[in-house]
Structure 1
Amino acid sequence: MALITLRRNFCHLSDFRIRGALAALRNHPINHVHKVSKEQLHPWFCSVQYEPFRIHFHHACYKKFHLQNGNELHPVGEPAFSQGQDWNKFEQNLKNEDEQIFYRKLNEFTSSEEVLSFIKTLETLPDAMAAGALQRICEVEKKGGDQRLPKEILESSVFQALCFQLEREPSQLSNSGLLTALQALIWLHVDTQSSLVLNLVAECQNRLKRGGLEVHDLCVLGESLIRLQGPGCVTLELIIYQLQGAKLEVFTPEDIVALYRILQACAEKVDQHQTFLNTINNFSLSIVSYLSPKSISQMLTALVVLDQAQALPLVIKLGKYVVRHIPHFTNEELRKVIEAFIYFGHNDRFFIKALERHVAAFCLTLDADVVSKIMEYCSRKLILSEPILNAVAETFVSQSEKLSPSQISELIEPFGKLNYLPPNAPALFRKLEHVLFTHFNYFPPKTLLRLLHSCSLIAHPPVNFMGKIFSPFFLQKLQGKLVILSDTWI
């Protein structure tokens, strides 16, 4: 197994000893190693320019280090350590429980610097763990909202050595390590034409053609290629073909959701995959209870994109578990869930009760788009929920300055359609009138007319705005727009 060997207190890059680098030193002159590293490593990350990673060991520094630490020096052309003894020791030290400790330790770190510092203290690191470390670096950077790694991380000798080892010997990686590394690099928006990514993709394709990838591996590879090359990727068809041939019983719930995401990306080919989708929809009924809130939201979104109107039994069952998970959805996940319920026309009194409790408790912290979607759901299904409408009215009074014209309209219109006046109606309409006076010209004409019409339906006609509505400026804005005024509005 290919290893990354790390040593403490080594001068500059000599604290990071890679077996591949030692082999390169034994077989090539120093200048050649400089040339290879410069050619291969520089193009990994197209957005940042930095000096190439040099993998040579300065002879004097190398000699001084080992003499100070009581180590016996070996000629460059001879093995620097007893391979059999070290490998046996390594095999003993990396048992399953040790790997679990390693990954548990990785998950405790909250920055890339902490991960790299931890990696630097290790004696040995197999490729699978190196890929896991790379993935953790990407995860912590992604949580921070950064699209690319900071220059300091890219220039780190430890990080560059991780990438170099993965590029040199991708065939030595396990399926899990290979796909983890590829997935992590894609998250970092690596140049798709870099030698590192091309080597990893080529190795994945070779294993795919040999049929050497398991179901989970196929799902990870499929999603990675979609992000890397788009849904038109030729290899994706082979992945879907192999997934169709697998028994769904061997899929984990997470794999089933990943399969939905892959097919969602190929929505234009839904007719070709409909038979397969019917099978997945029926099987998914048995795994709903095992899905996380995030997975439920993603499955519902895929059903909408794929227009699976025939999967209503699955939607209904998902709806039952949505009720349990409402407090645990993120804003975006909850918005997509409600969007799916609107699309499929799903209505459940238990869902409404749970939604009422959630909105009443957290309305002030909910995202405006989520509140708008909740109001749209109530309006379309004609759900007169006083707890929801009252909470939204309070939110509008306190946060109207943060709302866009379209969001204001989406929050206010349902009051008129449902013919409901909230307890704080005077404050609500004073705030609305102030917003309209201040930002009247920012409202699209059609949106403004719908908004004012809704106010009229609940006995608050826009008397103060009649002059503005029939002004030449406003009428000019209406020209060329198909705006039909109902008899009620006129």
Structure 2
Amino acid sequence: MALITLRRNFCHLSDFRIHGALAALRNHPINHVHKVSKEQLHPWFCSVQYEPFKIHFHHACYKKFHLQNGNELHPVGEPAFSQVHDWNKFEQNLKNEDEQIFYRRLNEFTSSEEVLSFIKTLETLPDAMAAGALQRICEVEKKGGDQRLPKEILESNVFQALCFQFEQEPSQLSNSGLVTALQALIWLHVDTQSSLVLNLVAECQNRLKRGGLEVHDLCVLGESLIRLQGPGCVTLELIIYQLQDAKLEVFTPEDIVALYRILQACAEKVDQHQTFLNTINNFSLSIVSYLSPKSISQMLTALVVLDQAQALPLVIKLGKYVVRHIPHFTNEELRKVIEAFIYFGHNDRFFIKTLERHVAAFCLTLDADVVSKIMEYCSRKLILSEPILNAVAETFVSQSEKLSPSQISELIEPFGKLNYLPPNAPALFRKLEHVLFTHFNYFPPKTLLRLLHSCSLIAHPPVNFMGKIFSPFFLQKLQGEESHLDRLSMAQLTQLFLSSVLECPFYKGPKLFRQYQVKSFLTPCCSLETPMDFHLYKSVMIGLIDLLGARSYFASKVLTPYCYTIDVEIKLDEEGFVLPFTVDEDIHKRVALCIDGPKRFCSNSKHLLGREAIKQRHLRLLGYQVVQIPYHEIEVLKSRQELVEYLQSKLFPQNSTVHW
């Protein structure tokens, strides 16, 4: 392993005052030092202009020193300063320093300046540790939000000396030091065409062709080349080929995650690597318990990008460990975890419970994108989580000004879909109405339509905005450049119009033009109703035949003039007699049976979805006697006789006998 000898290479740099500096200066004429500094350092950072080199030394208080008698350093205007160790108590020789202590000290620093100040106190520095120092500089700069190094760091003699050694002697570096240095320099946006980066890349390629790199080094190099040259670089194929030949048992958990990231970057070639991916997916089951929150998030993201639907056992196991790490995820990591769960359809009650506690405690501090993704997850999986919905409602009321139109829609729409009114519903709708009045024109037409339609699902028709959305101007914007309006938008407009007629009789504004209305809300592709559960319907039909005496006394899947489709319709005359479904005269009452299967309810609950709730509400307002037959009541019946008695109590609760 090569040593970056700071005593030799830093001696001519103005920030160092260590033993042996003057001896080294005597071995290098001043003009030569100027030439090396200017010619070798300048190409790395072409934007930085360097002044002619000056022989000045500074101690911790930045006092200038000059040469006296050829072998001593003295502060200007001060007595001779002979005890070098007094100016910095941390100066040490790494030959006697444990490597773990070095890295522990390095990880304590929170700025590039602190890292460089620490490095310059060292007499010698192994190349792997020098690369680690560059990596730490990269980490602290990334945390600051700007990965580009400040000019003062670029001009630091310590930083330049580190880079100088890597450029001049890459063949002497260890594999770990070589790939780590290249990785850090790439992340720090060092000029990719500089001799420094080109030399390191060339040395990495030489060692790769000789097969001299270990698994971890291959992973680091692969990610570096992806960032440097893109996923299409030829060298990356050789790296993946060598990784395929390695035994997975020698991979650390971090290496496995890095391997996923490499394959993720080459997602367009996933078919070529699917056999290898299957092996990795199976092996990864054994390392899940060792993964950090960040690694779990990255692995799930890679599985999504690589479309690993067959890796569901791995997703389920990752989900179990996600529960333990929810408080430790960053906002971005949590967002990607939930995004993966949405993609794979993963639903875990322990995850929901933990997420509820986390959101309830930290909702006001979570990023809006994370909250939106959580609401999307609840909406997609039909999860009626009152703690989450209540916390989001409170967040919206207090922070609506910080939200974009799309974020507002993403937060509010699930309330309508899940048919839930939070405790602060009055404040929620007042705030929403204020936002819409203030920023109406900033909402994309379809986003605005979805938002207003979701309000109508929970019995809050947006009456103050119906005149605007039924206007020809808005309808033209909604249609855009298409030749006609899409079916879903027309259905939402029609249901909003129906709400204005049935639930807002005081509304006297514009009506929806006939050409924008649909005839049925039940369509194969974009339905506003849930199709009837066939098996549940079959059971109910048998009971109805026994109860009514014949199949002719009820009709199925009846499309009403009001766009709704009734599962089963029964007609009664004025005396309560059941009429054949073919009769159209003397009808006194129509009974609408809603045979509600599991898909019409929120997940694992008896709470109707918003689209089913509005349907039953509107049917009642239209004069139907709505009778709900939920699946969870049918499932507990043990015999055909019990079914008949159940249906009789539902249809004719006040009559002891039934007439037909």
Are residues 84 and 141 of structure 1, via their aligned partners in 2, closer, same or farther at CA, if it must alter by over 3 Å? Answer: closer
| Shift in Å, 1:383 | 0.7
Structure 2: how far apart are the matches of 1:369 and 1:96? 50
Cα drift, residue 92 of structure 1: 12
Shift of 1:97: 4.9
Checking the alignment, whether the CA contact within 8 Å between 1:51 and 1:155 is kept in structure 2 is: no
Q: Percent identity?
A: 97
> Could you tell me whether the CA contact under 8 Å between 1:130 and 1:162 is conserved in 2?
yes
Q: Residues 24 and 73 (structure 1 numbering): CA distance in 2 closer, same or farther, change over 3 Å?
A: closer
Whether the 8 Å contact between 1:178 and 1:204 is mirrored in structure 2 is yes
**Partner SS, residue 182 of structure 2:** helix
Per the TM alignment, residue 19 of structure 1 is displaced from its structure 2 partner at its CA by: 13
**Cα pair distance change 1:64/1:71, threshold 3 Å:** farther
Asked if the contact 1:37–1:55 (Cα under 8 Å) also holds between the matched residues in 2, the reply is: no
Stretch moving more, 243-252 or 130-139: 130-139
Match of residue 237 from structure 1: 237
Q: Hey, what's the Cα distance between the residues in 2 that align with 1:111 and 1:369?
A: 29
Q: Which moved more, 1:104-113 or 1:182-191?
A: 104-113
| Contact 1:332/1:370 (<8 A) preserved | yes
Give 1:333 deviation, angstroms.
0.6
What is residue 319 of structure 2 aligned with on the other side? 319
Q: Distance in 2 between matches of 1:152 and 1:46?
A: 14
| SS of 1:65 mapped into structure 2 | strand
Shift of 1:101: 2.1
Change (3 A) 1:249 1:462: same
In the alignment, what sits opposite 1:273?
Answer: 273
Deviations 1:193-245 (A, max 9, x none): 10000011111111111111100000000001111111011100000000000
How far did 1:83 drift?
Answer: 23
Rounded to whole Å, the distance in 2 between the matches of 1:201 and 1:321 is 38
Aligned 8 A contact 1:138 1:184 in 2: yes
Task: Note closer, same or farther for the CA distance 1:476–1:98 as it changes in structure 2 (3 Å cut).
Answer: same
Instruction: Report what 1:470 is aligned to.
Output: 470
Tell me the CA shift for residue 90 of structure 1: 17
- CA change 1:259–1:11 in 2 (3 A) is closer
Give the superposition deviation at 1:308.
0.4
SS of aligned partner of 1:61:
coil
Q: Which moved more, 1:341-350 or 1:109-118?
A: 109-118
Whether the 8 Å contact between 1:415 and 1:421 is mirrored in structure 2 is yes
For residue 130 of structure 1, report the CA deviation from its aligned partner.
Answer: 1.9
Q: Deviations over 1:86-132 (max 9, x none)?
A: 99999995458522222222222211222222222222223222222
Over 3 Å counting, the alpha-carbon distance change for 1:168 and 1:12 in structure 2 is: closer
Distance in 2 (alpha carbons) for counterparts of 1:92 and 1:415: 63
Could you tell me how far apart the structure 1 residues matched to 2:163 and 2:252 are? 30
2:658 maps to what in 1?
488
Summarize the Cα distance change of 1:54–1:271 in structure 2 as closer, same or farther, 3 Å threshold.
farther
Change beyond 3 A, Cα 1:211–1:456: same
Residue 147 (structure 1) shift: 2.4
449-458 or 151-160: bigger deviation: 151-160
Q: Which moved more, 1:187-196 or 1:116-125?
A: 116-125
| CA spacing shift, 1:44–1:8, aligned 2, 3 Å | closer
In structure 2, C-alpha distance between the alignment counterparts of 1:175 and 1:415, rounded to whole Å: 56
Structure 2 unaligned regions, length at least 5: 478-646
* Per-residue deviation, 1:7: 5.7
Query: Residues 395 and 480 of structure 1: is their aligned pair in 2 closer, same or farther, counting only changes over 3 Å?
Result: farther
Report the TM-score when normalising by structure 2: 0.65
Deviation digits for residues 385-410 of structure 1, max 9, x if unmatched?
A: 11111111111111111110000001
- Structure 1: distance between partners of 2:436 and 2:62: 74
Deviates most, 28-37 or 376-385: 28-37
Alpha carbons of structure 1 residues 416 and 313: separation in structure 2 relative to 1, 3 Å: same
Unaligned 5+ residue runs, structure 1?
none
CA contact (8 A) 1:13 1:157 kept: yes
RCO higher in 1 or 2 (8 Å CA, sep ≥ 6)? 1
What per-residue deviation string (whole Å, max 9, x for no partner) do you get for residues 364-417 of structure 1? 111111111111111111111111111111111111111100000011111111
Q: Aligned in 2, Cα 1:178/1:84: closer, same or farther, shift over 3 Å?
A: farther
Q: Which residue of 2 aligns with 1:352?
A: 352
Q: CA deviation at 1:473?
A: 3.3
Q: Secondary structure at the match of 2:90?
A: helix
Aligned mates of 2:216, 2:178 — CA distance in 1: 13
Aligned to 1:223: 223
Q: CA deviation at 1:338?
A: 0.7
Contact 1:148 1:189 (8 Å CA) reproduced: yes
1:438–1:33 distance in 2 versus 1, CA, 3 Å: same
Counterpart residue number, 1:289: 289
Measured after TM superposition, the shift of residue 342 of structure 1 is 0.6
**Which shows bigger deviation, 254-263 or 11-20?**
11-20
Does the 8 Å contact 2:57/2:64 carry over to 1?
no
The structural deviation recorded for 1:479 is 52
Whole-angstrom CA distance in 2 between matches of 1:133 and 1:460: 60
CA 1:164–1:400: 2 relative to 1, 3 Å:
same
Cα 1:10–1:214, aligned 2, differ >3 Å: closer, same or farther? closer
Q: Which moves more between the two structures, 42-51 or 108-117?
A: 42-51
Answer whether contact 2:11 2:18 (CA < 8 A) is retained.
Answer: no
More strand as a share of residues: 2
**Are 2:66 and 2:73, in contact at CA under 8 Å, matched by a contact in 1?**
yes
Taking the aligned partners of 1:147 and 1:364, their CA distance within structure 2 comes to: 28
- Deviation (angstroms), 1:61: 20
The range that moved more, 135-144 or 300-309, is: 135-144
Residue 455 and residue 83 in structure 1: after superposition, are their counterparts in 2 closer, same or farther (change >3 A)?
closer
More helix by share: 1
Q: Summarize the Cα distance change of 1:481–1:227 in structure 2 as closer, same or farther, 3 Å threshold.
A: farther
Mark the CA change 1:480 to 1:190 in structure 2 (over 3 Å): closer, same or farther: farther
CA gap 1:76/1:180 in 2 versus in 1, 3 angstroms: farther
Cα separation, partners in 2 of 1:85 and 1:334, compared to 1, 3 Å:
closer
From the CA coordinates, give the structure whose radius of gyration is larger: 2
**Is the Cα contact below 8 Å between 2:67 and 2:74 reproduced in 1?**
no
Distance 1:196 1:321, change over 3 A: same
> Does 228-237 or 14-23 show the bigger shift?
14-23
Question: Are positions 1:123 and 2:292 aligned together?
Answer: no
Contact 1:18 1:165 in 2 (8 A): no
Hey, what's the Cα distance between the residues in 1 that align with 2:455 and 2:470?
A: 18
| Residue range with higher mean Cα deviation, 227-236 or 87-96 | 87-96
Cα distance change, pair 309–54 in 1 and its aligned pair in 2 (3 A): farther
What is the deviation of 1:66?
11
CA-CA distance at 1:52 after TM superposition: 7.2
Of 134-143 and 256-265, the range deviating more from structure 2: 134-143
- The CA distance in 2 between the partners of 1:488 and 1:86, in whole Å, is 105
Structure 1 residues 345 and 213, CA gap change in structure 2 (3 angstroms): same
Aligned length: 487
Change (3 A) 1:218 1:22: farther
Q: C-alpha distance in 1, partners of 2:98/2:358?
A: 42
Q: Which residue of 2 aligns with 1:18?
A: 18
How much has 1:54 moved relative to structure 2? 7.9
Task: Give, in angstroms, the shift of residue 62 of structure 1.
Answer: 19
SS of structure 1 residue aligned to 2:289? helix
Q: CA deviation at 1:177?
A: 1.0
Contact 1:7/1:120, CA 8 A, preserved across alignment: no
Q: Deviations over 1:297-327 (max 9, x none)?
A: 1000000000001100111111111111111
Query: Aligned in 2, Cα 1:73/1:271: closer, same or farther, shift over 3 Å?
Result: same
